[in-house]
Amino acid sequence: MSLQEKIEQIYQELEETKVKNSAEIEEFRLKYLSKKGLLNDLFEEFKTIAVEKKKETGQKLNALKVKATQLFEEAKNSTSSGDEQHTANDLSLPGEILPLGSRHPVSLMIRDIKDIFLRLGFTISEGPEIEDDWHVFSALNFPPEHPARDMQDTFFITKDPDILLRTHTSSIQVRVMEKQKPPIRTICPGRVFRNEAISARSHCIFHQIEGLYIDRNVSFADLKQTLLFFAKEMFGEETQIRLRPSFFPFTEPSAEMDVTCTCGGKGCNLCKHTGWLEVMGCGMVDPNVLEACGIDSKEFSGYAFGMGVERMAMLRYNIKDIRLIFENDVRFLKQFSSNL
């Protein structure tokens, strides 16, 4: 049999060859493409044929090699894809262990604060972030010339100075007092906005939780006992509080509440070596606020308090820079993966 007849015979075999699995692919390679395969034998025989036949025979031999190589690659790719698909659908294989996510420290604090006050009988109220002047300032006894109305503190979002982003969640308290008759016992969590420079201790966006209790014969002693219970539940049974006189337009008398530092009163950088940490403002609701919301100040009295959630989170988790809370750095957030 001449070389050309051998080439045509093998070419016909390749046309009829069907490779179905990895074993048959290897058999195909050994038979046709290996050093001891048929194509190698044909190239060895090609060296001995007459010169005048080399051109035509060489073209056919090269075409045969291309055909064999193409069939081998197609079969290999096809079988590889099938194996991958089979592996993906093999339910007996071990599953992938996916990393657990985590709650954000702000979400953890809001959850824990809510739980404490819900046990005291408080409800949860929410309100809009885009507010008007009445609910943010006027109803809360802010006079027209009060500095908090200045552009340096408040984000006004239209040319109309009556429309703004709320600077505190006290606006929710006003809405509750307008719609609900005493007794009122509620906390108001939410995001607030102030036009402040961003630094390690302050941010233009943060979260607050404010509380309100209105009923007959509510006294400052009731406020103190409520806040003492909250502090012990939040920071530990050994925690003590102190109330320092202060001023807020919507409460009278007003106070700032401090809690004992985690250093045990020895003094550290966190408490500026005082042994105390400021956590919230509080006081008795000003009668003007009650009257503005349609509540008889001669029959009812009440107390209010408000705290920054980020501030509480920084104290509990010893976070030194408030900006970490807003940057969504996974390395920072992973620290809270166990607090689900």
| 101-111 per-position pLDDT tens digit | 788 899 999 99
Q: Is the predicted pLDDT of residue 280 greater than 90, yes or no?
A: yes
Summarize pLDDT for 203-246 with one digit per residue, the tens. Answer: 899 999 999 999 999 999 999 999 999 999 998 898 899 999 99
Tell me how far CA of residue 315 lies from CA of 12, 203, 240, 293, 311, in angstroms: 82, 16, 15, 35, 6
**pLDDT beyond 70 at 54:** yes
How many helices (H) and strands (E) would you count in the chain?
12, 9
pTM (two decimals): 0.68
Quickly state the pLDDT bin for 77 (edges 50, 70, 90). confident
pLDDT beyond 90 at 15: no
Write the pLDDT tens digit of every residue in 292-301.
999 999 999 9
- The Cα 160–Cα 134 span in angstroms is 13
Q: For residues 17 and 28, is the Cβ–Cβ distance under 8 A?
A: yes
Chain position carrying tokens 């509380």: 211
Residue range 43-70: mean pLDDT, rounded: 82
Q: Which of 223, 224, 204 is nearest to 212 (CA)?
A: 223
What pLDDT score was predicted for residue 339?
Answer: 54
Calculate the average pLDDT of the chain.
Answer: 86
**Superfamily of domain 105-336, CATH level 4:** Bira Bifunctional Protein; Domain 2 (3.30.930.10)
Sign of torsion, CA 112 116 117 123?
Answer: positive
Strand blocks (E) in 128-266: 130-132, 163-165, 184-193, 205-215, 241-248, 251-260
Domains in the chain: boundaries: 3-88, 105-336
